[in-house]
Structures are given as C-alpha cells and as structure tokens.
Amino acid sequence: MIIPVRLFYETVREPRNNMGYVEYDITIHASAPDRELREAIRKRTGLGDFSFRILKKSLDARKKERILWLFRVGVLSDELSGGEEPVPPTLVPVRARRDARVVVVGSGPAGIFAARYLAQCGFPVTVIERGSVVGKRKEAVLALERDGAFSPANNYPFGEGGAGTFSDGKLSSRTKGINAERNYVFDAFASAGAPEEIGYMTHPHLGSDRLVPITLAMRAELEALGCVFRFDTQVTDLTVRGDLVTGVETDKGSIEGDRFLFATGHSAFETYRMLMARGVPFVPKNFAVGFRAEHRQEIINRAQWGLPAIPGVKAAEYRLTRQCEDGTGVYSFCMCPGGKVVPAAAYADTNIVNGMSDFARDGPYANAAIVAGIDLGRFLGRYVDAGEALDWLESLERAFFAATGDYRAPAMTIRDFLDRKTGSSLPPTSYTLALAPADLGGLFPAGIVAPLREGLSDFCRKLKGFDSGVIMGLESKTSSPIQAHRHPELRHSHFGNLYIAGEGSGWSGGIVSSAADGLKAAQAIAARPDSDRNHP
C-alpha cells in the first residue's frame, strides 16, 4: 500500500463484510478548518456513520475570489452497498537465505531503498558512503553556511542521505511504470515518521527539517535488518576479474562482494570518471543550467492567489515554462516556497546554489531554479563524449567560484539582467553567505544567455511581480550531464554484476524516481540465482 491505511482514515474502525466503499469528489474553501471536510462528506453522501480516507488533495486557485481545496475521498460505511476498496500495488520482498553479498555505493534515495529491499529479501548488504552520518554532516553544512568552511566529504550533495537530505524533499514524479515502487517508497517514509499528507497531496514534500530524523529512522531500520554501513569511506577503484567485479577499493581498504550497485548521485564526478576508465560506458545526455530566482514569498502569494496569505494553506508555488525561438526550453525547477537558497558545491573551488525549505514552508522568501536545457554536442557544434561533458560543466562551476573567490553567490536583479545593465543594488536575501554584484550575462556562455533572457521575460509577463526578484549563482544540478549505458531492464552495464542507478546513472531525477530506479535494480539483483556469485 502507499501508506498504512490506518494513518489516513478519519475514523479507525474494524472492517465488516457488509461495508460498502465509494469514492467522492469534495470541495471546501481553502481557509476552512479540517473538520469541515467530514461535514462536507456527510452533506454529499447523506450518511450517518462512516469513515473516510483522503486519496487526493489539491489547491484550485484558478479563481482568485474563490480558492478551494479539491478532495478525492474513499468512504466506507455499512450504509453503502457494493464497491470494494482498491488495494494499490506495492513491492513485497520475499525473505529467504541469500548468500550473494551486495555492496551498495551511495546512501541517497537510490542506494538506501535498494539496500532496504535487498536486506528485506535476506541479502547481506554493505552500504558505503563517502560522507559522514547525518548528524556530523549537518554540523559541516552549518559551518559552511556560517563561515564558508567547505568540507569535501560532508556538504549539500555528499553525506548520509545524499543530496535529498537537505532539500525540500519533493516527492512528485512524472516517471511512468513505477507505481509499485512509488507506493513502497511512500510506505517506507511513513514508517520512518513522514507527515501523513505525503500520501494524498498533489505535490507532496517532506521538508528539510523532517528529512534528518527520517534519515536516521531509516538507517536504524536497515541496521536492524542486518545492513552494514561504512561511512567516511570513499570508493576509488574497482577490483575486476574478467567480466565481473569482485570488489571495490576504498580509501579505507578493499571490500569484497558478489553484486555491486553504484548509486552515487549526480555530483560524484570522480567516481564516474573512474568507472569510465574501467570501461563502464557512459554517453552525454541533455541537461540544464541557469540560476536561482528569489522573491519575497508574499509577492508570489499575491500573484497566484491575489492575497498575501491564506490561513491553513502553505506558501504559493509556481511552475513556469517557455519554448524559445531557437528551440531551447527554459523552465522553473525545484521551486521552494518559503525556503532559502543554499551553497551546494560538491567540490572545493566550485560555486553552485540550490534551494531547500522546511515542511511548514513558512520562510519569508521563495526561490526556484530558472534553467535552460542544453544539448552540449549541438551547443558546441561537434561531437562530445561523456568525459568532456563532465569537464565542460565542471569548468563552468569553477568559473562561478573564480568570479567571487569564495562561496558568495554572483547576483543581479532580474530587471537589470533583462535590460543588460550591471551594478545591481541587491535586496536582502535568504542566502547566508551573501550576494556579490555581478554580470551573470558575462558568466554564462552567450548561447545560454539569450534563451534565459527570453524565458525570464516571458515569466515576468505571466506572473505579476516576478520582475522584482533577484537571480543568483549557478544552478547546475537539475540532472546529470551523462548517462550510463546499461541493460534497460536489468540495470547492469558492461560488467555482468555491476549495476548503476539513481540520478548519477542519468536515468532518473528527484527523490521518488531515483528511489524507484534503485528498487528496480534491487529487484534485478534479487532475481539472479545465488549460483552466479563470484569467488575471488
């Protein structure tokens, strides 16, 4: 199931054979208290005794004078006849004695959910993470934001839980064919203490403040299943015999295994260079770069709702797209209402920004990536291999660091960017390491600047007040610039027992699709017979 049903039923009751089940669409005013939902169901159905489950909840702000919550609810009552409550598909690990040792590299969504599924199946699993446990990692992140003290092992991309641990924790995904995996993921999050609403909100999110305890709870569950974690341990090479991997070399020594899953995220460039050097094939893929746009949250609320706030409703969001005249797609990405902009560099001497927000989304600022899609080969007018794609992106990240010499974010107002002016007077910001006035048009390659200007100009027409914002830094982690060449179903590549999953594989992006990709790899691993295990 998506989430244990008892969490979402307004009234818990023992099911009876003569109970009927019907789903209804219910509408209530956005500022109405929660108790009005039950009354609205009663009026709609005429039932006296019933329980209900929220299946879906979304905000309808198309008419600013009448903003509504739209609900889809499943109602159980012995006053109803017929109908059976649907049972969503999910993964059911079959536990058995498994001798094949599985080594998972990376503790982000792809790695941790693969490890969880395999441990539930009975496999001996070792998870290797280059960074530290989440508590130590949090201290390093706070030191970076406070003092600019960068840690190569513990930062926004690296450490327990991966890049998602300090993100907004968005759980939306448009990936098709992952219903069972998605439900498994949501059930796991619920068991680890996730908010109930993730099971029914149209755009569910966990919030950075909830992700840290959720990460701790999930590790405790895996350790109880026998999973071994090796933190502060970086994989540096593979041990290979023929067409099989027999172990990994780390900065703490060798670790042997029988099946290996790399789920190291979109930022582990040296790991992908190592894999390519070992003959694992990667190809370049389309990706996107741009900057973060930040506004006062009240401006976005007024643009979307016509009001500065709505009681009981979190901060307003936006999703903006523009297909430019040259064919480039420009779009908003990872919009963080009530959030803040954070320094998201994975390596020293690079400067990258990203966004996050807590579960309440009650901060004074809104931010989102505004990015332009890139086909690098087309952009450069020649063939580009995977290694060069990494080099190109890394050089851009280093150029932004060189622009300030530290982790201040180069920034300018949206109006000045559109008017091709420099010397912006910058407003207050959520970015704790400060903004540095800069000409962002001069930091990006010219072929990217034109579509970014066209896209921003269009967004300013679509959303009132958008031109009052500020744009800052380099947003370069919307997706990986390379993709592993792997068997589409089995997820393995070149070496028959090496699997690559998650954002770094180039086949997924975001928490849910990355977790699902890891789970599909885990299922492929579990389907193999133990007889093919490798003996050094």
Which residue stretches of the chain have pLDDT < 70? Answer: 1-17, 531-536
| 204 lies in the same domain as 349 | no
Q: Can you give the pLDDT at residue 17?
A: 59
Residues 397-450 pLDDT 10s: 999 999 999 999 999 999 999 999 988 899 999 999 999 999 999 999 999 999
Q: Please list the residues that pair with 492 across neighbouring strands.
A: 499
pLDDT at 11: 37
Number of structural domains, the chain? Answer: 3
- Listed in order, strand segments (DSSP E) in 12-124 are 20-29, 51-60, 68-77, 102-105
For residues 366 and 431, the answer to whether their CB atoms sit within 8 Å is: no
Same domain for 131 and 232, yes or no, is yes
The confidence score (pLDDT) of residue 2 equals 31
The predicted structure's pLDDT at residue 5:
34
Closest CA to 139 of 212, 206, 210: 212
Range of the domain at 470: 286-475
Q: What is the DSSP secondary structure assignment for residue 426, as one 8-state letter?
A: P
**Same domain for 329 and 456?**
yes
Residues 384 and 525 in one domain: no
Phi-psi map region of 470: left, alpha, beta (phi>0 left; psi -120 to 50 alpha) = beta
- Pairing assessment for the beta strands 435-437 and 409-413 based on DSSP bridges: parallel
Question: Does residue 119 share a domain with residue 218?
Answer: yes
Buried b (16+ CB within 10 A) or exposed e, 198-227: bbbbeebbbbbebbbebbbbbbebbeebeb
- 292/270 same-domain check: no
468 and 507 share a domain?
no
- Do 341 and 204 belong to one domain? no
Q: Where are the beta strands (DSSP E) in 418-519?
A: 435-437, 470-475, 482-484, 492-493, 495-500
Q: Is residue 95 part of a domain?
A: no
pTM: 0.93
Contacts of residue 208, Cβ cutoff 8 Å, sequence gap at least 6? 165, 166, 167, 168, 169, 356, 357, 358, 359
Chain length of the chain: 536
